[in-house]
Amino acid sequence: MIRIAAVGDVHIDRDVLGRFRPALEELPDRADVLLLAGDLTRHGTEAEAKCVATEFGGLGVPVIAVLGNHDHHCDEVPGVLAALTDAGITVLEGDSIVVDVDGTRLGVAGVKGFGGGFAGRCASEFGEPEMKAFVRTTGTVAERLGAALRDLDCDVRVALTHYAPVPDTLAGEPLEIYPFLGSYLLGQAIDSAPTDLAVHGHAHHGSERGRTPGGVRVRNVAHPVIKQAYSVFNLAREHVSPSAASGI
Ligand SMILES: [Fe+2]
Ligand SMILES: [Fe+2]
């Protein structure tokens, strides 16, 4: 059994620093790994990323993250990445990591993701170059996620994104902004591999549970949605335990 803690959209800056740490000190007793589903900072500055490093570094379990749109806002991504990796936090973007948990190999593939919308109501690669570039960006990112998932050699496979791969977990958000919250292409990528769980953030007003068309469980772990420092999902080798204490 692998216990996966996850939270997104912690939006750390100096004002928030310390909010999560008391709960995080107990995390190693409750989980084997922590996933951070993007929007780690408020505006994507290196200074804020150093606050994230202070808050989430040195936990005693592997911490694996993807960035979110907020982490790109000030165009300081290299500095943000340096601050996080210096604190031992692994940041994925089109790649993956395998963590050994008591002999079971947990594979996590991650991308930030991007928008575009969902089947039947999505943007298409047509018309102005700006629209083509928007849709192509999502397509490229989704292809990288799918390849990273398929290439994983592991027992339990998890997809980590910031943007949503399905509309289910957006319920509660205005329909008008769905195309800016995620893309069905991410869901297709997740379904292209035997993925056990998909975790995302970004939809602060969305809902917690969904499923890809292929049946993969999707969980929105945005902090405003889960309303706790992190959720814990228990996954067994080859499948998600139906009796998971986390209520998966
Ligand atoms: Fe956010
Ligand atoms: Fe976001």
CA 234–ligand 2 middle distance (angstroms): 25
Which chain residues have CB less than 5 Å from ligand 1, an ion? 9, 39
Q: What is the radius of gyration, based on Cα positions, of the chain?
A: 17
Query: Where does 2-242 sit in CATH, by number?
Result: 3.60.21.10
CA 202–ligand 2 middle distance (angstroms): 4
CA 68–ligand 2 middle distance (angstroms): 5
Residue 197 · residue 228 · CB < 8 Å: no
CA 182–ligand 2 middle distance (angstroms): 10
Nearest residue to 108 via CA among 121, 116, 122, 98: 98
**Tokens in use for 123?**
């943007």
Over residues 136-194, the pLDDT tens digits come to 999 999 999 999 999 999 999 999 999 999 999 999 999 999 999 999 999 999 999 99
CA 140–ligand 2 middle distance (angstroms): 19
pLDDT for 223 beyond 80: yes
Residue 31 · residue 2 · CB < 8 Å: no
First to last CA, the chain: 14
C-alpha–C-alpha distance, residues 60 and 33, integer Å? 9
CA 214–ligand 2 middle distance (angstroms): 25
CA 35–ligand 1 middle distance (angstroms): 15
- The closest ligand to the CA of 162 turns out to be 2
CA 203–ligand 1 middle distance (angstroms): 7
pLDDT for 60 beyond 90: yes
CA 10–ligand 2 middle distance (angstroms): 10
Over residues 17-57, the pLDDT tens digits come to 999 999 999 999 999 999 999 999 999 999 999 999 999 99
**pLDDT at position 182:** 98
CA 243–ligand 2 middle distance (angstroms): 31
Q: With 0.85 as the threshold, say if the pTM is over it.
A: yes
Residue 41 · residue 70 · CB < 8 Å: yes
Please tell me the total number of residues recorded for the chain in this structure.
248
C-alpha–C-alpha distance, residues 165 and 181, integer Å? 9
CA distances from 197 to 115, 124, 220 (A): 20, 27, 11
How far is Cα of residue 241 from the mean position of the Cα atoms in its chain? Answer: 20
pLDDT for 238 beyond 70: no
CA distances from 61 to 18, 66, 85, 157, 240 (A): 18, 17, 14, 18, 21
CA 237–ligand 1 middle distance (angstroms): 31
Domain ranges of the chain: 2-242
CA 180–ligand 2 middle distance (angstroms): 9
Nearest residue to 138 via CA among 175, 90, 187: 187
pLDDT for 66 beyond 80: yes
C-alpha–C-alpha distance, residues 140 and 137, integer Å? 5
Per-residue pLDDT, averaged over 79-103, amounts to: 97
CA 68–ligand 1 middle distance (angstroms): 7
Confidence of residue 205 (pLDDT cuts 50, 70, 90): very high
Mean pLDDT of the chain: 94
- The closest ligand to the CA of 68 turns out to be 2
CA 80–ligand 2 middle distance (angstroms): 16
**Tokens in use for 85?**
């990796």
pLDDT for 248 beyond 50: no
How many other C-beta atoms are found inside a 10 Å radius of the C-beta of residue 127?
A: 10
**pLDDT at position 124:** 87
